[in-house]
Structure 1
Amino acid sequence: MDRAICIHGHFYQPPRENPWLGEVEVQRSAAPYHDWNERVAAECYAPNTAARILDAEGVIVEVVNTYSRISFTAAPTLLSWLEQHRPGVYEAIIDADLESRERYAGHGSAIASCYNHLIMPLATREDKRTQIAWGVRDFAARFGREPEGMWLPETAVDIESLDLMAEAGIRFTILAPHQAGKVRAIGADGWTDVSGGRVETRMPYLCRLPSGRSIAIFFYNGAIARDVAFGDLLSDGRRFAGRLLGAFSRGGKRLELVHVATDGETYGHHRKFGEMALAYCLRAIEAQDDARLTVYGEFLAAHPPTHEVVIQERTSWSCTHGVERWRRECGCHSGAHPGWSQAWREPLREAVDMVRDTLAPRSAEALERLVHDPEKARDDAVDLVIGRWSDEAVETFLSRHAPRDLAPDERRRILALLEMGRQAMLMQTSCGWFFDDLTEPGSIQVMRHAGRAMELVRQTLGLDLEPAFIEILDRAPVNDPGYATGAAVYEALVRPAARDLARVGARSALYELFGLEPPAMYAVEGDWRYRLEDDSRRGRAGTVRVRSRVTGEEALYDLIALFAGMDRVLLGVREPGGDEVLRAAWEEVTGSGTIPGVFARVYTSPDLSDEERWATARQVLPGIGEAASAVYRDAAALIRVAEDLGIPAPGAVIRLMEHACNERLCAMLEEGCADPDRFGVLAGEMRAKNLRPDLAALGEAASRRIALSIGEAADRPADPAPLEEAVRIARCAKVFSLPLSLWESQNAAIGMLRHYGEMQRRAGEGDRNAERWAEAFRRAAACLGVRVT
């Protein structure tokens, strides 16, 4: 085959975890989702595991796991989050790489990424090494193979980074066309200048490195990539395929590769339904006789470079000024605020570099006294991250690197030094400089990582870098009029995110009231000796051990918690004082609603973080609905009398009636809508009284129950009842034209198509139950918009 096509998606999300807690806290701008990871996962990462191809009637005829057919970046910070929070999506991505190896002659579709997306030309050699080593190790742990290629964050490139990648066994990377400087045929003398994006992109190039090693480079088609990312090419999958197929040389005889690279989030997040256009494009290309899909590893193995290239160092794909976007006011910005200054970038870079350059040699010197080989220990520290600092992961690491049995303080010191280095890399993540103001989430995040790194430096090495850091930030101008300088931003938005063990203990006491899990980076063992549960209050008191899994730091606290409403929260923390003191405090709290002065730290409702408010509010809100329903039930007789007498109902009564009716409708849906006629009668009564249905809540309830019913149908393959239930719920949903979320239900139904064929066969042989099942499946599939053939 002389013509091949490769589509690369750079799927990535920055680290968003609070550095002190190891969890992503609620982000209001991502509403209605908890945070941006959740939102992008729902809009992009999940849909690409089962992208729909529809027929002319809008019915699903095929689903495609696009990850198995394209080339994609496996970014560690994203995959780590998916593994914890969307394991089904994570497994589908891992499986896609396995499937792609069968399709592409043993070469997987996934390529590695530098660990946390820092700009490599601006990093130290040591950090470059670690970024590559951690990226390779993380990839191998997830995909069960060594990576062939590696993505450079923002495609920011320099020779040293390429050489270190080649040393780590990386065979190729991907760059933008304007990053090529000059090329020549291997063995030729003269070079051809191809700067300005004039490089021939339909072939790989060999880049020779100072060490004598080399690496292959693919320069993607810039024009098509721009139209995918910023144009309307994803409005029509057929046109997308046509554009790729039309990019081959006319009448050319030589082998060619047409390939594009964009942010993977383009397919579904930046461009709604972009994953569907991608799926249709892939199918259209696969239907061709004179072109085929490939991935870079397969193409390179079959067709080694015939030409070599000299790259333009310190360039990137998203800054026309090289890498200046990540250290100076170069003029590149998001476009959202065209009049804003980015003069804050240089002080932020200076402050971060100051922390990095100060802690690195001191940390290395301290680590050298505790481990066999500090460099190897630093490389292997990624195993702690992958293992989420489990006791087993920590013991394995220390047994490998410690030269002797360590005292507890020495163990903690090693872990703290390694975490210091990790935070120092995270504070260099590219998103900190990419956007338009120092107050934006990416910049706040890198400053928080810097804050955590400086805290560990202070605790472990006795060196306080924060005053100098703040002094540099004080020179950073801010576009947001609410802050004078970067120093004010740090004080307002970074410092409050810090959590010490006592504050984590207070949070664990609050979470204990609602059965919630403590932050994953901490082990919490509680002896909750006093408990209170009544109609209006919840309380706990006990002695709790809090241990950081990451650094080994631990402490014992007496904790007390009382919740009497979102505006009446009391949390008390003190060093253990014995059961008598704790009992006396408990009696005072439950009696007077105040925490005695023996508790050194007391937190009330205004002290709660947004995440704590969000987590507890979610637990409390259902109770508010139940209370409103109880009020309606108490007043129902009076409301009926008023209706009979023609007395207009006050607005508050109307809202109560709406709530009560919506609660009843939701209950019917959640119970499987055994009597659709009763649902219809109540809906009719609401219309007659001009009561508004809560379409969002009803749609969510219907969607959940349909998913449950289809899931039960998959688990009980001979029972038609769950399928019939799904049809009933769908019928009820049509009464109000409810907005339904059917993605998971559709996937499950598609997975049952093979079983449907078997049941059809059995029905044809006279099996009455199989006939009933097949009929129920056809009706359910029709409700879900799934084609049955």
Structure 2
Amino acid sequence: MTVDRAVCIHGHFYQPSRENPWPGDVEVQRSAAPYHDWNERVAAECYRPNTAARILDSDGMIDRIINTYSRISFTAAPTLLAWLERHCPAVYGAIVEADRESRERYAGHGSAIACCYNHLIMPLATRRDKRTQVVWGVRDFAARFGRTPEGMWLPETAVDIESLDLMAEAGILFTILAPHQAAKVRPIGAEAWTDVSGARVETTMPYLCRLPSGRSIAVFFYNGTIARDVAFGDLLSDGQRFAGRLLGAFSRERDRPELVHIATDGETYGHHRDFGEMALAYCLETLEARRDVSLTVYAEYLAAHPPTHEVAVCERTSWSCTHGVGRWQGECGCHSGTHSGWSQTWRGPLREAVVMVRDAFAPRSAEALAALVRDPAEARDDAVGLVLDRWSDEAVAANISRHAPGALSPDDRWRVLALLEAERQAMLMQTSCGWFFDDITEPGSVQVMRHAGRAMELARQTLGLDLEPAFIDILRRAPVNDPDYETGAEVYEVLARPAAVDLSRIGAGTALYALFGLEPPAVASGMYAVRGDWRYRSDAGVQRRILGTVRVRSRVTGEEALFDAAAFFAGMDRVVLGVREPGGDEALRAAWEGMASPDPAGAVSGAFTRVYTASDNERWALARRTAPEIGQAVCAVYRDAAALIDAFDDLGIPAPGAAVHLLTHACTERLLAMLGEGCPDPDRFFALAETMRARNLAPDLPTLGEAASRRIALSLRAAAARPGDPAPLEEIVRTVRCAKVFPLTLSLWESQNLCIEMRGLYPGMQEHAGRGDGDAQRWAEAFRRAAACLGVKVA
């Protein structure tokens, strides 16, 4: 570090576990539409844009892009990163790479810090759970980033001394708190304390917090005023003003090093505030260009400037509750502000119900594990490796081998795995989001009840411990604001309990996914292994059917079963799934004959002991899979009716409404085909567009925009793969010209990134063009025009 004035911006990037605890997939969340779920939506609005945030020139052209994760400090929350790794691998890779880049920028110190594993409120947890949260958070971080974390985020910055001590024991050097969480400070070695309660602590320096064990940990208290203006004010409307505000926080007459730093939810940059990532990028670039201040991360600053003062923290406080940690255990008065007048008295009974499950299960589980493994605590700590490896057979075998004193029977092996999974679910049921919002019907609360339901189910199966009646009885005392429900018990019965699925339901879903050639989400999650033998199948006409046997094994608990399984599909509203105990070849043949009858749905219902219809997730997957068939069907109808529609047109007779819809769709399909080819003849596209306009035919603009965007990205990838070939670049220009006819809304994020990567070729091509190279001249001209179409500055 070259100067003693430094700035650090911390983003706490986090999403809770949204997966259904049984199959391990995230269900459709309709409030996140048009996205499948909120993880997907926030990834599109925040996590992805921050990997390539735009910095514009004075003409509004993209001058450069930066990966903001490589310059700020950020929380690497395990539940978020696990989802990104599976569903957005490019974003996940860019975040991991950003940490590697930051180590080069910040003297070997990375920008990422760890997080307690699943964001439970540490002061409300048992010492046993606190320890595991820290151990799992460190293990998860090391597995992803290839290094030991130096810092760790406390969920909601909820702090107590025991948690800090466990973090220090795990090798954590520092954490970040809000200014009002400091109680008193003093110079190291002094006796007298200075009261700094009420957010009066000096935030421009780190502090040493001494712990009862003799260990210590450094604490950074962020600038609360600027952080609030970023999160809830308008500072992100102007990146230069954002930078100016940070610079203005330095003292005018300084006699010591100073660190100006803030911490906010990372989702502020793009999700909570549109284009917030661009303001952040401009701010970072502005600060980086200065000679009198430096960007830093906490670990680098701490190494260069060890604490000169020590602090006593206010225990059982947090950054988002002015009442300590009351928000996560009762009606303290804190709420989202969305529903004024709603009561949060439901929080108390929900906390009581979860604590009851935790405290009843934990000692019994430890006792049962003690009879099967050498050290139950070590086995529990090591279980994070199973999650990281998605319960692969190799990971399970290695885990059992490390912890079992000898060879385990299959039943004992299943028991160990099931107990460890119950332990995981018992921590997930304490996730902070369950109490943060305004009603027990909201997704966060329902999710923690689902985790509790899974933990209780496994406790019943492994220990004979039935906790659900007591859990429900406590929830009867939880009032509900939503008029559709009377108590929390009803919410649990209607919204949480039905999420449970067993091996038979997984088997039934496998048949449906197999019918459409899709991978079951339960398999993609890593939680199940399935093997189907589909002996009978028919895809003729609109009716589809499949029948065979399927073996389902839970890789998480080791449970396994074989079923006969069938699926019948005759449209999204006519889906019937069936499973039963295996009946042999003759029984399968008889079932297939029934499914070939005039009433195949009835045949499935009559022949199978368990019958289901499609879930929302299954319907979502099928809808996306069959969507192209709708267009094909409409086009087929149009082809059959085209002559009649033309006759109406020739005779001047107004066409029926259905004919207009058919004609509109057919014209849209022709436009889509042209876009898909890269618009080789723009005049044909313009002519058809003009015909549609003259006939008042309204094309499907969103679909056309998506098709044009896909083609532009494809052309950019072709241009990158064939440097020197101008054809793909010229194709981009044609496609954008055609898109402007309507005009279409284009998604150009990926294409712009590729174009910026290709700018390095431009100077060399320009040089060759200047020497009379005609091919180079054509390429350079094509690149200039393509870049202009994409809004990218060339030079």
SS state of the match for residue 147, structure 1? coil
Describe how 1:474-485 pairs up with structure 2 within 5 A. Answer: 474-485=476-487
Q: Which residue of 1 aligns with 2:692?
A: 686
- Measured in 1, the distance between the counterparts of 2:496 and 2:621 equals 21
CA 1:673/1:443 → structure 2, altered by over 3 Å: closer, same or farther? Answer: same
- Indicate the SS of the match to 2:274: coil
Q: How does 1:357-368 map to 2 (within 5 A)?
A: 357-368=359-370
The match for 2:661 is 655
| 1:744-766 deviation digits (Å, cap 9, x = unpaired) | 00011111111222322333344
SS at match of 2:596: helix
Do 2:648 and 2:654's aligned partners in 1 also have CA atoms closer than 8 Å?
Answer: yes
Match of 2:77 among 69, 75, 81: 75
Q: Is the 8 A contact 1:177 1:221 kept in 2?
A: yes
Letter in 2 for 1:714: A
Distance 2:766 2:26 in 1: 48
After TM superposition, give the deviation of residue 694 of structure 1 in Å.
1.4
The one-letter code of the counterpart of 2:161 is I
Q: Deviations over 1:571-612 (max 9, x none)?
A: 110011101100110110121312263411112xxx322111
What residue is the counterpart of 1:414 in the other structure?
A: 416
What's the counterpart of residue 756 of structure 2?
750
> 1:2–1:253: 8 Å Cα contact kept in structure 2?
no
Q: 1:768 aligns with which of 764, 774, 783?
A: 774
Residue 630 of structure 2: aligned partner: 624
Q: 1:342 aligned to 2:354?
A: no
- In structure 2, the partner of 1:699 is 705
**What's the CA shift string for 1:496-524, capped at 9, x where partnerless?**
11100000101111111111111122111
Alignment of 1:87-486 (within 5 A): 87-486=89-488
- Aligned pair partner of 1:580 in 577, 580, 586: 586
Aligned AA (1:181):
A
Q: Which amino acid aligns with 2:542?
A: S
Letter in 1 for 2:230: V
Q: Which amino acid aligns with 1:130?
A: T
Give the superposed CA RMSD. 0.9
Per-residue deviation at 1:684? 0.3
Deviation at 1:652, TM superposition (A): 2.0
What is the Cα deviation at residue 438 of structure 1?
0.3
Between 337-346 and 654-663, the greater mean CA deviation after superposition: 654-663
Q: What are the Cα deviations for residues 402-461 of structure 1, in whole angstroms up to 9, with x where unaligned?
A: 111111111111110000000000000000000000000000000000000001011111
Q: What do residues 63-122 of structure 1 show as CA deviations (whole Å, max 9, x unaligned)?
A: 010000000000000000000010100010001000000000000000000000000000
Structure 1, 244-253 or 274-283: larger mean CA deviation: 244-253
CA distance in 2, matches of 1:762, 1:543: 65
Alignment deviations for residues 638-666 of structure 1 (CA, whole Å, 9 cap, x no partner): 11111122211222222221111111111
CA distance in 2: counterparts of 1:59 and 1:609, whole angstroms: 46
CA contact (8 A) 1:73 1:110 kept: yes
| Alignment counterpart, residue 601 of structure 1, candidates 575, 597, 610 | 610
- Whether contact under 8 Å (1:585, 1:596) holds in the other structure is no
TM-score (norm 2): 0.98
Residue deviations 1:373-402, cap 9 Å, x none?
A: 111111110000000111111111112111
Q: Shift of residue 489 of structure 1?
A: 0.5
**Structure 1 unaligned runs (5+)?**
none
2:650 aligns with 644
Aligned to 2:493: 491
SS at 1:481 equivalent? coil
TM-aligned CA deviation for residue 770 of structure 1: 2.4
CA distance in 1 between partners of 2:762 and 2:508 (Å): 54
Aligned-partner residue type, residue 608 of structure 2: F
SS in 1 for 2:604: coil
C-alpha distance in structure 2 between counterparts of 1:654 and 1:122, whole Å: 63
In the aligned structure 2, how far is the partner of 1:556 from the partner of 1:765?
73
Shift of 1:671: 1.7
Aligned-partner Cα distance in 1 for 2:763–2:215: 56
The equivalent of 2:13 in structure 1 is 11
Counterpart CA distance in 2 for 1:595 and 1:165 is: 56
Alpha-carbon offset, residue 718 of structure 1? 2.8
Query: How far apart are the structure 2 equivalents of 1:513 and 1:768?
Result: 55
Please state how far the C-alpha of 1:693 moved relative to its aligned partner: 2.0
- Corresponding residue for residue 529 of structure 2: 523
CA offsets 1:319-341 (integer angstroms, 9 cap, x no match): 00000000000000000001100
* Aligned-partner Cα distance in 1 for 2:29–2:540: 32
Distance 2:765 2:500 in 1: 59
Distance (Å, rounded) in 2 between the aligned partners of 1:142 and 1:552: 26
- In the aligned structure 2, how far is the partner of 1:590 from the partner of 1:598? 13
Instruction: Report the more deviating stretch, 147-156 or 458-467.
Output: 458-467
Structure 2 SS opposite 1:130:
helix
- SS state of the match for residue 4, structure 1? strand
Partner of 1:23: 25
| 1:50 and 2:52 are equivalent in the alignment | yes
Displacement of 1:780: 1.0
Question: Mean alpha-carbon deviation: is it higher for 13-22 or for 246-255?
Answer: 246-255
Query: Which secondary structure does the structure 1 equivalent of 2:458 belong to?
Result: helix
Q: Judge conservation of contact 1:588–1:596 (CA < 8 Å) in 2.
A: no
**1:785 corresponding residue in structure 2:** 791
TM-score by length of 1: 0.99
CA contact (8 A) 1:206 1:216 kept: yes
Aligned length: 786
Structure 1 partner of 2:567:
561
* Cα displacement (A) at 1:172: 0.2
| Counterpart-to-counterpart distance in 1, 2:515 and 2:343 | 47
Q: Is the 8 A contact 2:576 2:614 kept in 1?
A: no
Task: Determine helix, strand or coil for the equivalent of 2:766.
Answer: helix
2 CA distance for matches of 1:495 and 1:94? Answer: 37
